[in-house]
Amino acid sequence: MNDLRIAMLGSGFVANFYMQGLADVPGQQVVANYSRSASRARQFAQQWSVPKPTSNLEKLIAHDDIDLYLIALPNEVHLPVSLALSRAGKNQVCTKPLARTRQEAKTMLAAAKKSGAMHGYAETEVFGPSVVKARQIVERGGVGRVLWVRSRESHSGPHSPHFWDVKKTGGGAMNDLGCHCIEAARYFFGKEDRIVEVMAWGGRLVHYKKTKGEDNALLVLKFASGGIGHCELSWTTKGGLDLRNEVHGSEGSIFTDVTRGTPITSFSTKSAGYVVEKADIDFGWTRPLPEEAFAYGYQAEMKHFVECLRNGKPPRETYEDGYIVNCILDAGYESMRKSRWVRVKY
């Protein structure tokens, strides 16, 4: 079979991780890339040997020889770009969060369904090897009935200026990082166990001048079964990305730690180069993470979406999942404002 032909929409942080993930996926080729900046499009194309860089999205969508479009763009353009792809009947995968609000996500989902094309929600957390292994243990009954899932996603702050503008992103640390923890909890409990209520707190503890959003947040998820999801989110944690999960059940517990439990420990008096995502320093005692794109789940999710499209099967993460996450985040922000439990509206 011929390779699937992919267009990368975006040239920033997540687009680079998607390219790293795709590097180990057979049966595909990134043949074009788009950036709102022509110079950035050319630079990205040169870095990754993409033959056709462009800053003209309309023409790129009009191509009849591209099988899949990967949306790796800032949150504020997910909606218009996705709708344009749906109108053209194109297969698409969008990075997290799907949209800025529940309503935007609902519009994207409805249009993608109407198009009849494939739609995938690129939530790396549930494709990470350690998380997938933990879920397999749960499925085998290794911890009994899941009762409580605790997830932590934290670092010292976003890498790009637009992340700090809540009007562009839809929210602060909870919006940026909470989507990972929500989907992890849904994965461990099982998607049939719906999240019915949430309680959230958020505060701006450090970055007063950078953002009007929260730079720290707590989000509690109440499942229909009575189980609890506990999400800790922070933009003020030093030491690089902190990515952990705990699954506690009636018969046991599982712990995952991708970034603080790496197989390498290093000490250097000089710069050691790149260490890990969001690392604050690159000398002294560090915990470098090998094969980040694999460890975080980028390779597995890209492989999954390529195989689903090739085999005509729906992905296990679709725009419906992204919509559900946006519903939960919206309820979380309502809870944050009202200081009480809030029912999730689907």
pLDDT tops 80 at residue 185 = yes
The per-residue pLDDT for range 288-344, each reduced to its tens digit, is: 888 899 999 999 999 999 999 999 999 999 999 999 999 999 999 999 999 999 999
Read off the pLDDT of residues 269-302 as tens digits, 9 standing for 90 and up.
999 788 888 888 888 988 888 889 999 999 999 9
Q: Is the sign of the CA dihedral 66, 71, 77, 83 positive or negative?
A: positive
Q: What residues contact 85, with CB distance under 8 A and at least 6 apart?
A: 61, 69, 71, 92, 115, 117
Spatial neighbors of 317 by CB under 8 A, at least 6 apart, are: 120, 121, 122, 123, 126, 127, 183, 301
Average pLDDT across the chain, whole number = 96
Identify which of 264, 208, 205 has the alpha carbon closest to the alpha carbon of residue 240. 264
Give the separation between CA 33 and CA 7, rounded to whole angstroms: 5
pLDDT of residue 119: 98
Return d(Cα 159, Cα 293) in angstroms, integer. Answer: 17
- Confidence at 223, pLDDT banded by 50, 70, 90: very high
Q: How far is CA 211 from the centre of its chain?
A: 21
Lowest mean pLDDT among 37-41, 195-199, 221-225, 262-266: 262-266
Q: In the prediction, which pLDDT does 263 show?
A: 87
Written as one letter, the residue type at 186 is: R
* Cis before 97 (ω within 30): yes
Task: For residues 83 and 241, give the distance between their C-alpha atoms in angstroms, rounded to a whole number.
Answer: 33
Structure-token pair, residue 279: 């690392």
Joined together, the tokens standing for residue 223 give 């499942």
Tokens, residue 77: 């353009």
Domain boundaries, the chain: 4-122, 126-297+327-343
Question: What's the pTM?
Answer: 0.95
Please name which of 218, 229, 119 lies closest in space to residue 184, comparing C-alpha atoms.
Answer: 229
List b or e across 290-306, with b for residues whose CB sees 16 or more CB atoms inside 10 angstroms.
Answer: eebbbbbbbbbbbbbbb
* CATH architecture for the domain at 126-297+327-343: 2-Layer Sandwich (3.30)
CATH for 4-122 is 3.40.50.720
Q: How confident is the model at residue 1 (pLDDT cuts 50, 70, 90)?
A: low
Q: How many CB atoms lie within 10 A of CB 205?
A: 12
User: pLDDT for 48-83, tens place per residue?
Assistant: 999 999 999 999 999 999 999 999 999 999 999 999
pLDDT for 225-248, tens place per residue? 999 999 999 999 998 899 999 999
What does the pLDDT read at residue 279?
A: 84
Closest by Cα among 95, 58, 69, 87 to 169: 95
Per-residue pLDDT tens for 73-121?
A: 999 999 999 999 999 999 999 999 999 999 999 999 999 999 999 999 9
Continuous H helices in the chain: 13-22, 38-48, 57-62, 78-87, 102-115, 129-139, 166-169, 173-189, 292-296, 298-311, 319-338
For 115, residues 6+ apart whose C-beta sits below 8 A from its C-beta are 85, 86, 87, 89, 90
Q: What does the block give as tokens for 234?
A: 């922070």
pLDDT score recorded for residue 71: 98
- pLDDT digit string (tens) for 135-171? 999 999 999 999 999 999 999 999 889 999 999 999 9
- Burial of residue 192 (number of CB atoms within 10 Å: 0-12, 13-18, 19+): exposed
